[in-house]
Amino acid sequence: MAELEEFLGRTKNQRRKPLGAPGWRNGYGKPRGLTLMGGTVTLRRPRVRGLEERFESRLLPLLARRTPGVDALLPELYLHGLAQGDFDLALRGLLGEDAPLSPATIGRLKEKWRSEWEAWSSRDLSGLEVVYLWVDGVYVKAGLEKEKAALLVVLAALSDGRKEFLSVVPGHRESTEAWAEVLRDLKRRGLAAPKLVVGDGHLGIWGALRGVWPEAEEQRCWNHKILNVLGKVPKRRQGQARLLLRQIPYAPSLREAERLKGSFQRWCQKHGLDEAAKVLDRDWEAMLAFYRFPKEHWGHLRTTNPLESPFAALRLRTDAAKRFKRVDSATALIWKMLMVAERRFRRLNAPELLKEVYEGVKFTDGVKAQETIEEAAA
């Protein structure tokens, strides 16, 4: 074993120099299995005698039964909907009959994930240059709890283009105080105010945001807005209404968006749909905040899709969370799955512009304010 030869300073058949140098081989320990990503192999740890310090193999630690790669596989399996009771059968089929992955092992891993989530939830954030935040309250139905609670989730866009989750905590999505506590906690941990926050209009986040970071701009999600407006339109007219509504957030300028809004409201008036027109008008200024940011980022800022995409898989697999008796027990598991999803996130478009937004550069209709002035002068 090369590691042992390096430790002793000689190969298996070499004599000790000088004579009487400490440490000599003393056979091997009992065979035991080590589960790798490709299966389970049987190994024997070499034994060493005559040393003041114990020989500890870095390749095969004393109590190791599986590699870190196998541990990392487990939240992936949860992400793909594998129930705990299926772990034993599925993983033994993949990794061999000797794979040490009993229900008790999985239970210990879940406790480990909970500890990791708690440490993650208190980490220092002062080194992050956050430009945008997406926020949402995702409902979770845990086994024995009568009422559905939500996970209040915050996803950030950093000045280098990366996306990173900042908070995943249980709470009521419509509660201003619950969201205020989330924001106050982020601020206590060193997070500076973002430039823009994107979320659903029904969240309690907006009252909380004005109390904690009043300087941050607000952008309502267009997907939610369109659904809310269509809820006031008869089914027979929803197709046409949807076409008219979807044009608005894709208008090339603020002025054109206003014009398209007027067209939709006149259509509503013609068909007696005053309630639909009123729903569109609600929080109208907050529907258009993205026009004051780079055009290259508009696709990220119109909706909460950057946050909802990783949750799409989780919403289809909430049976994993329902197996827990309490919401706080499900939180750590869902957080672990989000960390798996986070590794696959792509950077925002035009990441070089994020630094400019972070530093306070102003934009009008998606173009730097100075460039807009120069174009007008020309």
Picking from 319, 349, 347, the residue whose alpha carbon sits closest to that of residue 333 is 319
> 337-356, pLDDT tens digit by residue?
888 889 889 999 999 999 99
Q: Which residue has the higher pLDDT, 118 or 319?
A: 118
> In the structure, what pLDDT confidence band is assigned to residue 316 with cuts at 50, 70 and 90?
very low
Name the least confident of 223-227, 277-281, 325-329. 325-329
Percent of the chain clearing pLDDT 70 (strictly above): 63
DSSP for 227-287, written as a single string: HHHHTTS-HHHHHHHHHHHHHGGG-SSHHHHHHHHHHHHHHHHHTT-HHHHHHHHTTHHHH
> In the structure, what pLDDT confidence band is assigned to residue 216 with cuts at 50, 70 and 90?
very high
Q: Which residue has the higher pLDDT, 194 or 149?
A: 194
> In the structure, what pLDDT confidence band is assigned to residue 48 with cuts at 50, 70 and 90?
low
> In the structure, what pLDDT confidence band is assigned to residue 320 with cuts at 50, 70 and 90?
low
Percent of the chain clearing pLDDT 90 (strictly above): 52
At residue 344, the pLDDT reads 87
> In the structure, what pLDDT confidence band is assigned to residue 112 with cuts at 50, 70 and 90?
confident
For the cut 90, the answer to whether the pLDDT of residue 10 exceeds it is: no
Q: Dmax of the chain from CA atoms?
A: 103
For the cut 60, the answer to whether the pLDDT of residue 289 exceeds it is: yes
Q: Which of 15-24, 35-44, 234-243 has the highest mean pLDDT?
A: 234-243
At residue 371, the pLDDT reads 60
At residue 80, the pLDDT reads 54
> 63-105, pLDDT tens digit by residue?
455 566 666 666 566 555 544 555 555 555 444 555 555 666 6
State CA 194 to chain mean position distance: 18
Instruction: Look up residue 129 and give its two tokens.
Output: 């240059």
Mean pLDDT of the chain: 80
Q: Strands 196-199 and 130-140: what pairing?
A: parallel
pTM: predicted TM-score of the whole model, two decimal places: 0.76
For the cut 50, the answer to whether the pLDDT of residue 50 exceeds it is: no
Q: Report the pLDDT averaged over residues 20-37.
A: 55
At residue 253, the pLDDT reads 98
Picking from 292, 55, 61, the residue whose alpha carbon sits closest to that of residue 195 is 292
DSSP for 163-221, written as a single string: EEEEEEEEE-TT-HHHHHHHHHHHHHTTPPPPSEEEE-TTSTHHHHHHHH-TTSEEEE-
**3-state SS assignment for residue 43:** strand
> In the structure, what pLDDT confidence band is assigned to residue 116 with cuts at 50, 70 and 90?
very high
At residue 249, the pLDDT reads 98
Query: What is the rounded CA–CA span in Å between residue 201 and residue 349?
Result: 25
For the cut 80, the answer to whether the pLDDT of residue 307 exceeds it is: yes
Q: Report the pLDDT averaged over residues 301-308.
A: 94
At residue 363, the pLDDT reads 98
Angle at 308 between CA 74 and CA 185, to 5 degrees: 85
At residue 343, the pLDDT reads 87
